[in-house]
Structure 1
Amino acid sequence: MKKNLLKKVLAMTVTVAMLGGLVACGSASNESSAEPAPASSEAAQTTAEEGAAGETADEAAQASDSGVIIPHFEDRVALDVVAFVGRGEADGLRSDPVSKYIEDTLNIDLYLTGVTEADWPSQLSAMMADGDLPDIFMLSDPTKQLPMLLESGSALNLEPYLEEYAPNTMNDPAGKMMIEAERMAANSPDGNAYLWGMCKGSWDDGTVPTCGHYIRWDVYKEAGYPKLDSYDEDLLDVMEAMVAAEPETDDGQKTYGCGAWFGAGQGWGEWVFTFGLGPQEGVNLIETTGRVLGVSTVDSKPLENNQLTDPEGIFWRAVRFYNRANQRGLLDPDSFTMTSDIYEENLKAGKYMFNVPGWMSANANLEFNKTEGNQKAFISLPSLSGDAEDRFGNMYRGERQYVVNANTENPERCVALLDFLSTYDFSRTAWNGLEGTYWNVEDGEPVPTDEYLNVTKDDALGAETGVNVYHHFCGFGNGTINPDDGVAIDLYQFSQKALDKKMNDTVKDFISHYGQETQVDVYRAETPVTDAGMYISFGDPEGDIASYVNEINAYVGKNVVTAVAAKSDEEFEAVRTKIIEELQKNYHVDEVFQYFYDEALAQADDVAKLVDMNNAIKADREQ
């Protein structure tokens, strides 16, 4: 079965590529971009019982030196797993040290197939039709795929296996919160957990949020620190002063205040409107609602105003910002046809003073740092006008969802594998390799080696060391703090040694400007609420709502850029009014808003429970 599965996935991958290919959805950047209780003695003494497939764990579960509880399994079994993993080795049994570590720990042969979220849906559909699913596999669209799997009897109910075979997750407040979220009505038809969330926690340490207001602080300093208290007006004035201070790049290209990639097409092309302001003011615009609904980043309470019809809402303020930048000559005119890859190359070349995507800012800084003595740096500003922002995010449910095949011969081993991969201990291994390779524990704290901080993370490194092979198939995102040692999972980016290495005079000046000791201190001091979470999960809309959302997205994607191109405020307002009226008249936008607003209110009790669980985790952390 193992070889047949690999052949099927490979054949379907080739077919997808021949048909034109699909864009792979990766991490926030190449490097990118809740706390467990100590293992109890009672849990460590749990004896595994005979499983449904006849395999036994005939010795008591053991707690490792790190406190990870590892059930003992006598018989070695093979597991087929399809996951979002590194592609440096051929599918099948991997040779990298981290894969071997997993296999030896759980007594398994791990047949691993790497896929992307873009190409997996068609492959999954074909495998479901053949009735030949792997033991564990990723869902790229759980809302649509889980109901199909349940209807065909292909998704395992995890509940009977959690206490015995997932002791680490069930002893971890963050793990229990994830499981509780998977039991919510939007994620389960019957209150049982079928989904398993990976990449919980955070992708960053708060200094590089996925969506932020990043400016070239070195140029801002050169411009004399002009007043910067608001997004709608001050930021435009600041960009103008920065362009005046540095009108050309080092190689003679004209600089602009900002750019965009409107030429990328629907959804991605208008990303800067969806995420260019909301997270910085404590609001998430929910894409699956057609962006009509906004919810608080603090507690997911829905905003009462329709974001596509309120001319002063988050969405339209962001559109107006880019229009005014365009009117003032601060927006790169190529933005209307540019794709994101060209935009990012311009960013790295120093053409723009302002940027929103955090991973692009990080990549630009990496490029800047190739020059000896570099002082250029994009730095994320604290919220300019909000009392809350999505700064320290918590993907409590996990960013990626996996299921166990209900027909697997080894359900216990599958759950034990997911549980082991979901520990803080393995997550650190996934991001940094095995202890002793690129990092060591010194005085109780993990410290990266000098060699590690100078390597280039790529597929070749993964094949050799296992670094980053499992970075989307582990329990925690790389910015998550391990409560056992207080250090972020990813030592390459977020250890103190790594932060010190990146601390040029520009970053020091930013910290000093705000009168703080660290960059994280700046954000905590300047904005009252910087922790964020998305506690609502929307299931597939009923009736015609799904079609209406698609129609809204298509209309907005085609027309919103015309508002950016308006030559005056009066023309902008006229175009905005026309778009809003058209949405209300022909695109059911008010009906869609009411549907999702009511759905959000219906989840209020479930959301409140998750918020309370998260607050308890935070309180324990602060003690």
Structure 2
Amino acid sequence: MKTRKTIALLMAPLLGTMSLAACTASGPEETNTSIDQDWSQADPITIDVFSATANYMGIQGGWFGKIVKDKFNMELNIIAPNVAGGGDTLYNTRVAGGDLGDLVIVGKGKQLDELVEGGLVLDASPYYESMTNAAQYDPAVQRLNEGKDGVYGFPSEVSSLNPTEPADPIDPTFGAYLRWDYYGEAGYPEIGTLEDLLPVLKTMQDAHPTGENGKPTYGISLFKDWDGNMMTMGKQPGAHVYGYEEVGFVLAKADGSDYQSALDSDGAYVRGLRFFFEANQMGLVDPESTTQNWDTMFTKYQGGQVLLSWWPWLGQSAYNTDQNTAEGKGFMLVPMADQKISASGGSPYGGGLGLTYSIGSSAEDPARIAAFVDWLYSPEGAATTFAGPEGLTWEIVDGEPVLTEFGRQAHLGGGAEVPAEWGGGDYADGGSALNAANLAFNEVNPNTGLPYNYKAWPSYQATAANPLTEDWSARMGGATTTMDYLKENDQIIVAPGAGFTIPADDAEIEAIRNQVKATIVEHSWKMVFAKDEAEFESLLASLQETAEGLGFEKVLEVDMANAKAQDEARVEVAKEFG
């Protein structure tokens, strides 16, 4: 697990589920339900943590592991389906055995409901009474557990920020981020629409055929790890850059103004596949895209081998080190005339990824696990997750948080070796492998009055200017952040954070969905790497025909209703909290 990858991996799709009716399990008897005790003096334990979004498997080590060990005398054994081949196999195997884990991080809605029904997670109500940090977000906890006879889950990405304002004041989650220095060398060509990116990338790749590591450079690199209802990378160009979000097989405009099928020939998803197909025809796509994982791709960005990033927490996190930006090198959002990027607003009921923390019914020490979950909601826990340990990566100076010299090297300098007393090892490798934040990245720390996101700290902003950002700002009308530019140019659509939970599919719809999504993903990858236009169109027709034959329209009808219900929830939360 790489800390600079943490936010990126929050975008990973959730696992499927199976029927749990026959998989009941009863938890241990618990006499002491208070979490308010010194857990550092308790007997040492190791707990199994099943995380649907983790990209590391094994014992959590490094600085985060040491903090957990010191505070709770507990080690975390991370169980990660993304590492164990992906898909539902590991999940189903453990569910069939009646023990998913001591701490379970899965999707809310259908997954949580079935785990509750199957008795694999316990009612944490007795512990919640003393979980003072989590209780600060009680409306979100109550909403998540609505209709249940207890507290079975704790929501992720909870925020007290205005749901009608972008939750991230610096960068939206999506966008076309180019190697700005190469873009400048090309003469800052105008980019009217998505497809205009391709000749620009070709010019940049031809001028720089190898990266700093001496290996081939590609305009685009892809990976399969997060594929779900669709090819995840396929959604980025045509959908997210133009304000659409996925709701099953529906792509819904974040402002509720449009809904379309993922398989529409002229729709946003197919547009993204066409974009990648054209890019591959031009020699811009990394040929290892079909076999590599996230880690391999991320390393290529670090080595300067990839020129376009769809997420700031990919290209910028990997490449925009202090050394590179001081030389004017790095990824910045490119000015695309017709972009209308979707951004999430504050989420009073929990973030759009819809993850939930639950305590396994077989956990031997549920009170200690509840204490750990509560700590993750605390100012100390959240600050540690997002900015690192206070005293190591940051400190309070004149009442405000400031990155230490070590912190700048760890976050912005390309990495740093952690002192032994803090856990040792590479800083990036030692970050939290849970990969599911309890609070929103830009939630305000009540102890400092500033976001947990160190990039929003005045102390960071005062030192953030460098040749790269100065050139970008000069070309972007004086904007100082990506969000400033997008808001000034009316190129952002904010989706109010309603915490909407998609209802569980019935058995028939679930079965159809599983078959359809498999064929969508399979055909999508083949379409990107089709030998010519005729094969691309043939594969598209085959996909549409196959999906229709499997019952695609039945699922689409359900997803369309869910998408519209989600928009209604957003309207309501905007009225209530906006």
Shorter-chain TM-score bucket reads 0.7 to 0.9
Query: What residue is the counterpart of 1:146 in the other structure?
Result: 112
Corresponding residue for 1:293?
Answer: 250
Q: Any idea what SS the aligned residue of 1:485 has?
A: coil
Name the CA shift for 1:435/1:273 in 2 (closer, same or farther; >3 Å). Answer: closer
Please report how far the alpha carbon of residue 607 of structure 1 lies from its aligned counterpart in structure 2 after TM superposition: 5.2
Q: CA deviation at 1:597?
A: 1.9
Equivalent position to 1:558, from 517, 522, 541 = 522
Q: Report the number of matched residues.
A: 534
Q: Does 1:197 align with 2:155?
A: yes
Does 1:545 find its partner at 2:509? Answer: yes
* Cα 1:338/1:331, change in 2 over 3 Å: farther
Report the more deviating stretch, 250-259 or 556-565.
Answer: 250-259
Tell me the amino acid that sits aligned with residue 547 of structure 1: A
* Alpha-carbon separation, structure 2, partners of 1:561 and 1:409: 44
Secondary structure of 1:305 counterpart? strand
Structure 2 unpaired stretches of 5+: 10-28
What is the identity, as a one-letter code, of the residue corresponding to 1:271?
Answer: T
Are the counterparts in 2 of residues 305 and 313 from structure 1 also a CA contact under 8 Å? yes
Give the CA deviation at 1:126.
7.0
Q: Which residue of 2 aligns with 1:422?
A: 377
The one-letter code of the counterpart of 2:144 is: E
Are the counterparts in 1 of residues 395 and 404 from structure 2 also a CA contact under 8 Å? yes
Q: Within 2, Cα distance between the matches of 1:229 and 1:421?
A: 44
Paired position in structure 1 for 2:267: 313
- 1:339 corresponds, among 275, 292, 303, to 292
Counterparts of 1:20-31 in structure 2, within 5 Å, are 29=5
Letter in 2 for 1:116: A
| Greater shift in the superposed pair: 238-247 or 81-90 | 81-90
* 1:394-429 deviation digits (Å, cap 9, x = unpaired): 595255422134577876665454333212332113
Shift of 1:142: 5.2
1:463 alignment counterpart: 423
How far apart, in 1, do the equivalents of 2:306 and 2:96 lie?
49
Does the CA-based 8 Å contact 2:444-2:452 persist in structure 1? yes
Match of 1:167 in 2: 132
Structure number with the bigger relative contact order (C-alpha 8 A, sep ≥ 6) is 2
CA 181–276 in structure 1, closer or farther in 2 if over 3 Å, else same: farther
1:447 aligns to 2:402 (yes or no) = yes
| DSSP-derived class of the 2:177 partner | strand
| Cα displacement string for residues 297-355 of structure 1 (whole angstroms, at most 9, x for unaligned residues) | 35xx59532121x112110111121223334x252372665524555454444444323
Q: 1:583 aligns with which of 534, 547, 565?
A: 547
1:356 match? 310
Q: 1:331 to 1:436 in 2, by over 3 A?
A: closer
Q: Is the 8 A contact 2:515 2:550 kept in 1?
A: yes
Taking the aligned partners of 1:181 and 1:238, their CA distance within structure 2 comes to 47
- Where do 1:137-536 residues align within 5 Å? 137-140=103-106, 145-159=111-125, 162=128, 164-171=129-136, 175-183=137-145, 190=148, 193-200=151-158, 205=168, 207=170, 209-232=172-195, 234-243=196-205, 246=208, 249=211, 255-261=217-223, 270-286=231-247, 289=248, 292-298=249-255, 301=256, 303-308=258-263, 310-327=264-281, 329-332=282-285, 334=287, 337=290, 339-340=292-293, 343-366=297-320, 374-381=327-334, 384-390=337-343, 397=350, 400-405=355-360, 415-455=370-410, 456=415, 463-464=423-424, 468-469=431-432, 472=435, 475-482=438-445, 485-491=448-454, 495-498=457-460, 503-519=465-481, 520-527=483-490, 529=492, 531-532=494-495, 533=497, 535-536=499-500
**Which structure is larger by alpha-carbon Rg, 1 or 2?**
1
In the alignment, is the contact (CA less than 8 A) between 1:181 and 1:397 conserved in 2?
A: no
Distance 1:542 1:506, change over 3 A: same
Q: Secondary structure at the match of 1:451?
A: helix
CA deviation string 1:216-239 (max 9, x = no partner)? 11121222221123213x222433
Partners in 2 of 1:342 and 1:154 — Cα distance?
Answer: 35
Kindly indicate whether the alpha-carbon contact (under 8 Å) linking 1:438 and 1:449 is maintained by their aligned counterparts in 2.
yes
User: Partner amino acid for 1:425?
Assistant: E
Is the CA contact (8 Å cut-off) linking 2:473 and 2:480 kept in structure 1?
Answer: yes
**RMSD of the alignment, in Å?**
4.6
Matches within 5 A, 1:58-207: 81-83=47-49, 98-99=67-68, 102-103=71-72, 109-110=73-74, 112-118=76-82, 136-140=102-106, 145-159=111-125, 162=128, 164-171=129-136, 175-183=137-145, 190=148, 193-200=151-158, 205=168, 207=170
In 1: Cα distance, 2:226 partner to 2:7 partner: 26
Q: Offset at 1:478? A: 4.2
Structure 1 residues 88, 294: closer, same or farther in 2, change over 3 A?
closer
CA shift, 1:376, in A, is 1.7
How far did residue 473 of structure 1 move? Answer: 6.6
Secondary structure (helix, strand or coil) at the match of 1:522 reads helix
Structure 2 counterpart of 1:230, one-letter code: T
Task: State the alpha-carbon separation in 2 of the partners of residues 608 and 557 from structure 1.
Answer: 32
* 8 Å contact kept, 2:327–2:468: no
- Whether the 8 Å CA contact 1:386–1:527 is kept in 2: the answer is no
AA partner of residue 167 (structure 1): T
TM-score, normalised via structure 1 length: 0.70
Segment drifting more, 476-485 vs 404-413: 404-413
- Is the 8 Å Cα contact of residues 108 and 144 (structure 2) preserved in structure 1? no
1:19-62 CA-to-partner distances (Å, cap 9, x unmatched) read xxxxx8x77716867xxxxxxxxxxxxxxxxxx954487xxxxx
Report if aligned partners of 1:239, 1:330 keep a CA contact under 8 Å in 2: no
Check conservation: 1:297, 1:534, Cα contact below 8 A: no
Partner of 1:17: none
Confirm or deny: 8 A CA contact 1:551 1:587 kept in the other structure: yes
Equivalent pair of 2:202/2:284 in contact (CA under 8 Å): no
- Tell me if structure 2 keeps the 8 A contact 1:214–1:361: yes
CA 1:349–1:387 in 2, change beyond 3 Å: closer, same or farther?
closer
For 1:91 and 1:577, the matched residues in 2 are separated by 46
Partners of 1:165 and 1:412 within 8 A in 2: no
Indicate the SS of the match to 2:194: coil
